[in-house]
Amino acid sequence: MIKVKIPQPLRNLTDGKDEVSLEGNEIGEILLELEKKYPGIKERLRDEEGKLRRFINIFVNGDDIRHLEGEATPVEERDEVSILPAIAGG
Amino acid sequence: MKKFRNLQCRECGRRFPAEAVYVCEYCFGPLEVIYDYGSIDISRDSILEGPLSLWRYKPLLPVHTDSPVTIGEGLTPLLRAGNLEKELGLKELYIKNDSVNPTFSFKDRVVTVAVSRARELGFDTVACASTGNLACSVAAYGKKAGLKTVVFIPADLEKGKVLGAGIYQPRLVGVRGDYDQVNRLCGELAGTFKWGFVNVNLRPYYAEGSKTLGFEVAEQLGFRAPRQVVVPMASGSLLTKIYKGLKEFEELGIIEEAGTRFFGAQASGADPIAEAVRKDEDIIRPVKVKTIAKSLAIGNPADGYYAWDVIKKSGGYAASVTDDEIVEGIKLLASTEGVFTETAGGVTVGVLKKLVENGKIDPELSVVIYITGNGLKTQEAVEKSVSKIEEIEPSLKSFKESCPWAV
Ligand SMILES: [Zn+2]
């Protein structure tokens, strides 16, 4: 199982849970599981064409998947996935 | 009639009440304050009669209170840069010297607005995630407001910056991690504690403070917009807000439309927006940052798309400069105009030079460059670049012998 951290704005769709555990070998599969298990989340993460929205950031162990292999990024047991909005400077 | 009631998502257009909200909860897009311009009363005269701070533009800032938290921020000098004009072959160049704000950076503009709004919304604690300038500003304004003040920084931050923030006696929390991790932690904390994080859940208000850098320059030019501006970019917010400030002035009839062209300045090693402009692509690819310009070191800029858009539609351009060029930029500005800026200012001057040389900036038209922070904050960057001491004995003989250049 892979741990996925859920950001505050999506927790009303995950019964208030800030972390869920899902099966999958790559990010795309994990997201598919997440979308299946929690209806409504897909529209929040993806635009009409099914692409991840540009202000959604997905990290694997702290690395942005855009630096890795995007949705094909492999994940294994004990990896931590987080979904986060972009934050302004400071 | 209230001049604003709502925040609106820049991506999907959904509206939210004007409270402390972080991002659009639907699509994670950034939120912006929506004004009822019809109810806003502002004119050249009302501005000229206003206070000698950026609060003279209060009708266009997102607070209702009559007693904002102020330490005299804004109305910084706009200097005609005659020496640098000659050096670069420009006809009309100005420096907006924002390094002389109360805590020595432009962040005081955004923080005065955010902390005033925090108090208005009933927060008893203000906080931020920062690597320097913002930490200093939030510490100062939080204390001035009489609020509890918590500043989150990376634990290994340079001593000078810890001092610049710590002297105001805030709670200073050192997070073992890099700035991105500090930032993400604050995103989490904002959902857990009822605190006003200026660059997280108060960001829609905070960002509006940067518009005053558009208002002020227009006012100081005799109520006209500059033809070209060069603006440093980290998240890209400052550039988009200067654009918004000039647009608001145009639409309210305070200035004539000038078609100002926007030029963005980034540091190589943290230049995802400039890269997208150079490649003429509308995708901003996050980068892992590496630059001495730490105040501009953001690899995933939250307002990058909007900054890109302003640059493109205004007919401007963007460029980036190396660490060496940044230091040269700092030296050039100090030795021609007497203004000592931090690394971000070195980026701006370096990019100005580059864009003049490659013909993107028109030397016949006016240019304003924004200098956003003070050189004393990033001393380590120029330690090796200052004049060497010529040591002598206290005698005329020794002076003449040791200093043959004296004639
Ligand atoms: Zn939205």
CB pairs under 8 A between A and B: 87
B187/A86 touch (CB, cutoff 8 Å), yes or no: no
Q: What are the tens digits of pLDDT across the range B228-240? A: 999 999 999 999 9
Which residue, among A31, A29, A25, A61, has the nearest Cα to A44 in the 3D structure? A31
Which residues of chain B neighbour A64 with C-beta distances below 8 Å?
286, 300
CA distance B217 to B196: 30
Strands (E), A1-90: 2-5, 19-22, 56-60, 63-64, 80-85
Least confident of A80-89, B22-31, B293-302: A80-89
Mean pLDDT of the B357-367 span? 98
Domains, chain A, with CATH or none: 2-84 (3.10.20.30)
Q: Select from B27, B128, B300 the Cβ nearest to the Cβ of A64.
A: B300
Residues 6 or more apart from B144 whose CB is under 8 A from it? B69, B70, B71, B115
Q: Write the pLDDT tens digit of every residue in B378-400.
A: 899 999 999 999 999 999 999 99
- Which residues are registered as beta bridge partners of B95? B79, B369
Task: Give CA B13 to chain center in angstroms.
Answer: 26
Question: Which sequence spans correspond to the domains of chain B?
Answer: 78-104+207-383
CA distance A64 to A55: 12
Contact: B183, A90; criterion CB under 8 Å: yes
Report whether pLDDT(A60) > 80.
Answer: yes
Residue B335 DSSP SS3: helix
Helix (H, G, I), strand (E, B) or coil at A4: strand
- B228 contacts: CB under 8 Å, gap ≥ 6: B260, B261, B263, B316, B361, B362, B365, B366, B367, B368
Q: Are B361 and B352 in contact (CB under 8 A)?
A: yes
Test A90 with B26 for CB contact under 8 angstroms. Answer: no
On whether the CB atoms of residues B113 and B138 are closer than 8 A, the answer is: no
The greatest distance separating any two alpha carbons of chain B, rounded to the nearest whole angstrom, comes to: 78
Any chain B CB within 8 A of the CB of A53? yes
Q: Strand pairing of B93-97 and B78-80?
A: antiparallel
CATH class of B78-104+207-383: alpha beta
Looking at residues B30-37, what average pLDDT do you find? 95
Instruction: Report CA(A54)–ligand 1 centroid distance (Å).
Output: 11
Per residue in B50-74, pLDDT tens?
999 999 999 999 999 999 999 999 9
A16 touches chain B (CB under 8 A): no
With bands split at pLDDT 50, 70 and 90, how would you rate the model's confidence at B287? confident
Instruction: Tell me the average pLDDT of chain B.
Output: 95
- Do B129 and A88 make contact, defined as CB atoms within 8 angstroms? no
Tokens for A64? 């942005």
